[in-house]
Structure 1
Amino acid sequence: MAERYCQNSLWIFFLEEETVVNLRRLLQVLSRFNPWREWFLGRALYDASATIIHHYAFSEELTAFSYPDFAAGWALSCSVVKRLADYMKHEPPKSDFTIDLKHEIALYIWEDGRGPALTTVHEFCSELHGSPNTEHCATTVSFYLPSCGTLVKREDLFVAVKTCQKFHQDRVPVVKETWAKDAALLEFYSDIADSTIPTIDLGVPNTESGHCAKTFAILRRFLSGEVTQTPWLLLVDDDTLISLPRLRRHLRCYDPNEAVIIGERYGYTLTKRGYSYITGGGGTVFSRVAVLKILSSSCSCYSEDAPDDMVLGRCLNTLGLPVTHSPQFHQARPDDYPKELLLRQSPISFHKHWNINPVAVYQQWLMDSEDLLQQNFSRENREEL
């Protein structure tokens, strides 16, 4: 498709919904570059440390490779686009998984040094639109979080935490010490019933990898009405860190009477007509309607230890139900993402306790008081008036 646009154009400029463009300055910037050469232009991001979401690429020299900040916008000369279009016919992306598109696109364009590396353009800015010292910018970023209406009540969100006996003593206390206090309705699901937590044994044995059987058992319990009639379900792991106040703020932009599934979206074999799925570690939000559609279908686990998030993704693709991506959900730790991205995202979740102090991470990145949430909501309503 991009190649088609190049029939009458010299450049293709890509942007996000929050990107604000000064078209005159953008054209001035592009005029500095010879469009007949191969150019890949953008605001450069670098990994601060080797990260699993980039498969630990360039771990020996992290600054050797940069990738674009999508919100600041990025551009390709049509010389690159035409070559890539032909290249894709013979060499599709090697990985079946789409995890961080901006990094994977940069790698594909670079083509092990045969293609252009990202050229930094300082006029492509990620500062907030209207901020001081942005007069030179061709692009800036608008305030990301929309204001959509009524704040979701604590009692309208049911939280299901997946755990197992071997993590009762280390992970579960972290949940209780950090974000669980903001939940009106929460249950821990384990492979044994432990009254001291308490946990609920769903009759599903623990597995070392995927947890498909446990997840479907939780969905059935939620839909049965045995514990709740809430419109929203949040499904998380016991090593997920999450801000429930921010999540409730986010959910007011969605209608629980529709089939809604929200989280961090990954992709599987997308170039071969694969499917998108919500990666489970960052948390997955379901509307009750979505759960009903899933359980009313023929969707099922092909094994107890099948990857639950991917099974659900394939199921939703078959049903024609979309999964909604939010960059505020994170499958990995804060250290695995560029700090400048996190600072403007108001993160909702992170995942994994590996090599971090999870309580400190929660306090630094996710802790929002209920009072602060109400103050922000009142301020936004006043601004709208």
Structure 2
Amino acid sequence: MAIYGILTLFVVLLSAVTRASKLSADEVVILIISQKDDHHSEMANNLRKLLQSEEPKLKIHLMHEDFDHPGAWTIIPVLKDINIIHGHNSSWLFICDSRTHIVLPALLDLLSHYNSSEETWIGHALVDEERTIIHHFASNDGFKYPLFVSGFAMSTALLKRLGQRLSENETYQQNFAIDAQYELAQFVWDDGKGPSLVDTPFLCSKYRSMCATSPRLIRYCGDAVSRSHIYFAIKTCSKFHKDRVPVIKKTWGKFTGYMEFYSDVADQNIPTINLGVPNTEVGHCAKTMSIIHNVALQPQKYPTVKWIVITDDDTILSVSRLQELLSCFKSDVPFLLGERYGFNIHRPHGGYNYVTGGGGMVLSLAAAQLIAKSTKCQCPDISTPDDMFLGSCATRLGIPIIHIPGFHQARTEDYTTDYIESHQPISFHKHWLIDPVHIYREWFAAADVIDPASQKLHTEL
């Protein structure tokens, strides 16, 4: 850190110590971004109980309980309702994740240093290091957007204006929801008519002693799932047999229990499975649905399989970290798990969430069996986008889409360092302009050396 930055931080810290907090807990509304599954709802409830044990006056909402909207996770659809409920009786709205660690006295003191009657929002600011496909290669002229897991605060004045905008426009028009953090900042900025995010060093991307908030890294919920319970299906085609398939075999493929490659041709040198589905340049719906049918409806062929993981042939991942993650979930409960995107979820009808395919799509066996047996899940065309269709199908069947930030649809270069370090990465996607073997060695090789299922560890950090 530069000398100027150190001096600035010292002045702010001294101010925080010497100035008594004038903000009462009943002036703050906390919205915890939570999900309906047992694992995430338990974390959210634990956070709420902890905060209310410290300050019973706090008004706390759990998103999955109080705002039942498919796009609630993007924040924008719930702002109007929060303004109606709390715009007249609070000073600040603080939004955080279920795994956000909060030092409540420090947070209240931090908010007391800002004027809630002005249109202000503060957070841990992320800035793209280069143009990225995630943000449609938009210019990175220092545009700041908040790291959700660190938490961010909006003044009531800003909340009222945003709520009014949404009331006047009825709905927020955007076809795809990809990065809720960035897209919320764009909405607030409103082409310069709204405020930009104010960066603060006290809402942190990793733990430091001076932080008011920081992420908790969840690693284990119990014994890691055995590799024999996880089936990996890799989608490939003949033109990638010689360059992409060897990368998988050289890296994470060595640590799988069940792994099979699905291609447009049967190649015994790999080997690959040809299910009779021709290759398409885009979509791959028929191939993906055929994989699900092949595994889910043949329990005698795959007797130990409890989880199905479908990846691309240019997906880079950690098997061990996936084993750890799955210890938090039950395979006999239907759900899809991965990096969540949304389609038309801000509109009144027809929207749905889905798991992006490149980062890896995880299906519990219960979900795979429901999908395989359903007449609602028949591809309209072989080239229909498989991940989107699977999300639409799951929505029709009432199967939850569970978001895990460790899955990534893009390369490491497409995310800010602070964002990646705020959680434990499980996967990245694409070999474009990178060395995939190097990426694997840098991010995952050390974790995959030891099978966590053999360690019988029970830790949560």
Question: Same fold by TM-score, threshold 0.5 exceeded?
Answer: yes
Q: TM-score, normalised by structure 2?
A: 0.78
* Partner residue in 2 for 1:209: 282
Determine whether 1:345 maps to 2:426: no
1-structure distance, mates of 2:453, 2:259: 25
Amino acid aligned to 2:94 = F
Of 331-340 and 145-154, deviating more is 145-154
Determine whether 1:40 maps to 2:40: no
* Partner residue in 2 for 1:238: 313
Determine whether 1:111 maps to 2:184: no
Of the three residues 149, 152, 164, the one matched with 2:222 is 149
* Partner residue in 2 for 1:290: 367
How much has 1:377 moved relative to structure 2? 4.5
* Partner residue in 1 for 2:388: 310
Of the three residues 233, 236, 244, the one matched with 1:160 is 233
Amino acid aligned to 1:69 = L
* Partner residue in 2 for 1:270: 345
Could you say if the C-alpha distance between residues 321 and 224 of structure 1 is closer, same or farther in structure 2, counting changes exceeding 3 Å? closer
Structure 1 residue runs of 5 or longer lacking an equivalent are none
Determine whether 1:12 maps to 2:126: no
Deviations 1:267-310 (A, max 9, x none): 11111141110011100111111111112222111111000111
Could you say if the C-alpha distance between residues 295 and 287 of structure 1 is closer, same or farther in structure 2, counting changes exceeding 3 Å? same
How much has 1:23 moved relative to structure 2? 2.0
2-structure distance, mates of 1:240, 1:345: 19
Of the three residues 138, 145, 149, the one matched with 2:212 is 138
1-structure distance, mates of 2:440, 2:302: 27
Check whether the contact 1:6–1:12 (CA below 8 A) recurs between aligned residues. Answer: no
* Partner residue in 2 for 1:358: 436
How much has 1:318 moved relative to structure 2? 1.0
Determine whether 1:336 maps to 2:336: no
2-structure distance, mates of 1:42, 1:349: 26
Check whether the contact 2:318–2:448 (CA below 8 A) recurs between aligned residues. Answer: no
Check whether the contact 1:265–1:278 (CA below 8 A) recurs between aligned residues. Answer: yes
How much has 1:126 moved relative to structure 2? 2.2
1-structure distance, mates of 2:95, 2:454: 32
* Partner residue in 1 for 2:174: 95
Could you say if the C-alpha distance between residues 246 and 146 of structure 1 is closer, same or farther in structure 2, counting changes exceeding 3 Å? closer
How much has 1:327 moved relative to structure 2? 0.3
How much has 1:227 moved relative to structure 2? 3.6
Deviations 1:41-87 (A, max 9, x none): 111111111110111112xxx24201111111101111111111121
Determine whether 1:25 maps to 2:25: no
Of 293-302 and 355-364, deviating more is 293-302
1-structure distance, mates of 2:413, 2:142: 18
Deviations 1:285-342 (A, max 9, x none): 1111111111222211111100011111111111111011100000000001111222
Check whether the contact 1:234–1:285 (CA below 8 A) recurs between aligned residues. Answer: yes
Of 340-349 and 114-123, deviating more is 340-349
Amino acid aligned to 1:40 = W
Determine whether 1:250 maps to 2:330: no
How much has 1:374 moved relative to structure 2? 3.5
How well do the aligned residues superpose, as a CA RMSD in angstroms?
Answer: 1.8
* Count of aligned pairs between the two proteins: 373
Check whether the contact 1:93–1:108 (CA below 8 A) recurs between aligned residues. Answer: no
Amino acid aligned to 2:183 = E
How much has 1:373 moved relative to structure 2? 4.6
Amino acid aligned to 1:263 = G
Of 243-252 and 292-301, deviating more is 292-301
Check whether the contact 1:221–1:227 (CA below 8 A) recurs between aligned residues. Answer: no
1-structure distance, mates of 2:423, 2:103: 22
**Percent identity (aligned):** 42
